Amino acid sequence: MDAGARGVEPVSFRTYHEVEGRDRSGLGEQVAGQRARVTNRLRTVARTIAVMSGKGGVGKSYIASALALGMAARLRGGVGLLDADLNSPTASRLLGARGPLRVDADGVHPAVVQPNVKVMSMDLLLDEGQPISWRQPAGERFVWRGLLETGALRELLGDVAWQSLEVLIVDLPPGGDRLSDLFELVPQLTGAIVVTIPSEESRASVERSIRTAQELGVPLLGIVENMSGYACDTCGRTRPLFDGRAGTALAEMFGIPLLGSVPFHPVNDQRPQLELPASVADAVMASVMIAQPPQVPPS
């Protein structure tokens, strides 16, 4: 029922844009300020790359962690690893990172696992074995959880005292959503390394995430095929672990270089040995260093 039908005089008033006074809350400016914090923080980071996959369980965090060590061994400058998998963080554990993390006026200082390797992960902030638990009211959580997770990623990028880095590696959770968030926050993203295993299931899943990256305009630096086989202790031959050749198939399908294949990694004591074959580390390194990140106009 409109105002006239209820016997009430219709009210005439100006709209938001017609009222010229300042919007004191300035929510748009506050959000822009959040983005600016990330931009300013990453001014000292020469290259930011994402390690992504459409499928879970392909060893993405292993590849990202081993890549951090491999790049650090090849570069003079620092390498950072941000574990952006908020719900199932593992990269910091693979690298043996430990807290507590120092907080000062410059921000939260990442864990240092080697003189030139810095790590930040939600795993360093949570109680042992506990999942991430948001303290807000439980009602209708699905509405705001995505906002909080994006905000957490923003803070892990922008509030960490990364200082000067040659490369910041962002280990993304499976799927394309977080890549989209990352690319919004870091439009100067150098590119993404895609991780798959040889199976057909992985090929189909990773194909989707590659298409997501292409739709976003994220440069795809190359594909790493993990668990491409295992070396038999008896005969010394490398035998396949999975049916399929997803790495090659995806590389051909999208015209992206296959940067290498990584056999099933041997276990050394409690932790897997974090070392990529030199040819793979060299190929990834080359693809990262020659990549031309998207041109972003100065803010």
Partner 1 sequence: MKFLCIDCDTQMAFEERQLPGDGTFAASFACPSCGRRIAMLANEMETQLVNAMDVRIGGRTLREEPMELIRTSVSGRADALDDIPSTAGGAGRVRAAWSRESEERLARVPGFVRGMVKKIYADYAEERGIVQITPEVMDRARSELGLEGM
Q: In the complex, which residues of this chain contact partner 1 (CB under 8 A)? A: 11, 13-14, 16, 19, 21, 23-27, 30-31, 34, 37, 99-105, 107-108, 122, 124-128, 130, 132-137, 139-140, 143-144, 147-148, 151-152, 154-156, 159
Contact 186, 38 (CB under 8 A): yes
Q: What are the distances in angstroms from CA 255 to CA 53, 229, 247, 248, 281?
A: 17, 24, 12, 10, 20
Give whichever of 134 and 271 is closer to partner 1, judged by the CB atom.
134
The single-letter DSSP state of residue 233 is T
Give whichever of 25 and 295 is closer to partner 1, judged by the CB atom.
25
Q: What minimum distance in Å lies between the beta carbon of 45 and partner 1?
A: 17
Distance from the Cα of residue 88 to its chain's centroid? 13
Q: What minimum distance in Å lies between the beta carbon of 78 and partner 1?
A: 19
Give whichever of 24 and 237 is closer to partner 1, judged by the CB atom.
24
Contact 52, 91 (CB under 8 A): no
Q: How far apart are CA 299 and CA 292, in angstroms?
A: 19
Give whichever of 39 and 212 is closer to partner 1, judged by the CB atom.
39
Q: What minimum distance in Å lies between the beta carbon of 105 and partner 1?
A: 6
Give whichever of 31 and 253 is closer to partner 1, judged by the CB atom.
31
CA torsion, points 292, 296, 297, 299, in degrees to nearest 10? -130
Q: How far apart are CA 151 and CA 165, in angstroms?
A: 23
Q: What minimum distance in Å lies between the beta carbon of 165 and partner 1?
A: 18
Q: What minimum distance in Å lies between the beta carbon of 27 and partner 1?
A: 5
